[in-house]
Structure 1
Amino acid sequence: MKRFSENVPSERYPDWRVTLVLDNLRSAHNVGNILRIAEALQLEVIACGYTPCPPHPVVAKTAMDCDKLVPCRSFGDTLEALATLRREGCQMILALEHNQSSSEVWSLEQVTMPLALVLGNEALGISPQVLAQCDRTVDLPMLGSKASINVGNAAAAALYAIYAKYKEQLKI
C-alpha cells in the first residue's frame, strides 16, 4: 500500500510524514480509534507484536472505514519495525511515555520529518528495549493521581502538538 504522502500530494504540507508505531497494544478498540486519528492527519500505522491489525472486525467497527484508508503494516517485533523505519530514512523517533526522562511534548523545539511516534501497551507501556531505540521520550502533563489516560486520547493530543510544531516551523 502506498503512503499517504504518495497518495495525496500536498503543496501546503509537502514534508509531513509521520508513522505511528503501536508497540503491543492489546485493544482492538484503541487501534480503531488510533486509525481514525491517523486518517485525520494522514499518517501511516505500523502494528507490532500482538497489536490487532486490519483486517480485523473490531478494529473495523471502531475505525469507521479508516482501516481501509490508512496505510498499515505489521511487524512481529517493534525493534524490527524501528530498524526498518531508520533504513527507510526516518529522522526522528519519539516515544510517548510518562517516565523519569520524559519531557512534555509541547517542549519539542523542532520536529524532523520523517518522524515516528511509538505508542505503548495500555498496561505495560513501551518496553525498555524499544525506549532505548527512540531519540526522545515525550509525555503529556498528568495532574491527577492516576497519571494515565487512554492510549488513543494520548496519541491524539501528542500528534496535534507535533502537528502544531511542524506548522510553526513552516511559518504557516
Structure 2
Amino acid sequence: MSPKEGEEGDQRRESVSGPLVHLLLDNIRSTYNVGSLLRTAEGAGIAHVHLCGITPKPDHPKVAKTGLGAEEIVPWSYHPNARIAAEALVTKGWRIWSLETGARAEPIFAIRTGEADRVVLAVGNEVTGVDPALLDLSERIVCLPMDGAKRSLNVASAGAVAIYWLRFG
C-alpha cells in the first residue's frame, strides 16, 4: 500500500486490529520529529496521518532520514489549518483527543480505548503546543504523567508513548 496525499485512510490494514486511530500533527516544526512520528505511526498501525500548518511533508529529505521508509507507507494528507481539518473529522464521527498539559488534561494511562473507537490524536508544536482552537474541539485532553523537573517530553517521544497506549494499552 502506498500513501497518497488526500487519501482518507479509514481502511484498516489487514494485519491491524484494535481501535482505529489517526494522528494529527499540528504545526510541528522539526522534520526529524515528523519523520519519527511517521515511523511510530507505521509501526503502531495508525490508519492515517494529518499534517497541518507548517508541519513538513513526507517528501522532505530530512523527514525521510528519520522516517526510514515509513513516510512511503503511512497514508497522509496535508491541511493548511488543523482546526478546519479536525472539524471535518468530527463530522465524520471521529473523536479528537489532544496530547497536551494543562488543567483539563487527564492522564492517558487512565483511559482505555475500545475496538470500535475512532480517535484522532492531535499533537502540537514543540514550543507552543496544540493550538487553543483545536483544544476547544477536543473531546479529551490527555497527558503523560511527569514526575521529574521537566514537565514535558519531546513531541516525538510523547507522541510515541500516547500512540502505543491508544493502540495497545
Mapping of 1:69-148 within 5 angstroms? Answer: 69-90=73-94, 92-111=95-114, 113-148=117-152
Indicate the structure with greater helix content.
Answer: 1
Aligned residues: 162
Identity of aligned residues (%): 35
Are 1:53 and 1:59, in contact at CA under 8 Å, matched by a contact in 2? Answer: yes
Find the aligned partners of 2:9 and 2:44 in 1 and give their Cα distance. 10
Give the Å deviation of 1:84. 1.7
AA in 2 matched with 1:22: L
Q: Give RMSD over aligned pairs.
A: 1.8
Are 1:21 and 1:47, in contact at CA under 8 Å, matched by a contact in 2? Answer: yes
Q: Helix, strand or coil for the counterpart of 2:45? A: coil
Q: Which residue of 2 aligns with 1:20?
A: 23
AA in 1 matched with 2:122: V
Are 2:12 and 2:20, in contact at CA under 8 Å, matched by a contact in 1? Answer: no
Q: Which residue of 1 aligns with 2:13?
A: 8
AA in 1 matched with 2:163: L
Q: Which residue of 2 aligns with 1:149?
A: 153
Q: What is the TM-score of this pair, normalised by structure 2?
A: 0.88
Q: What is the TM-score of this pair, normalised by structure 1?
A: 0.87
Are 2:99 and 2:142, in contact at CA under 8 Å, matched by a contact in 1? Answer: yes
Which structure's relative contact order is higher, taking Cα pairs within 8 Å and 6+ residues apart? Answer: 2
Is 1:45 the counterpart of 2:32 in the alignment? no
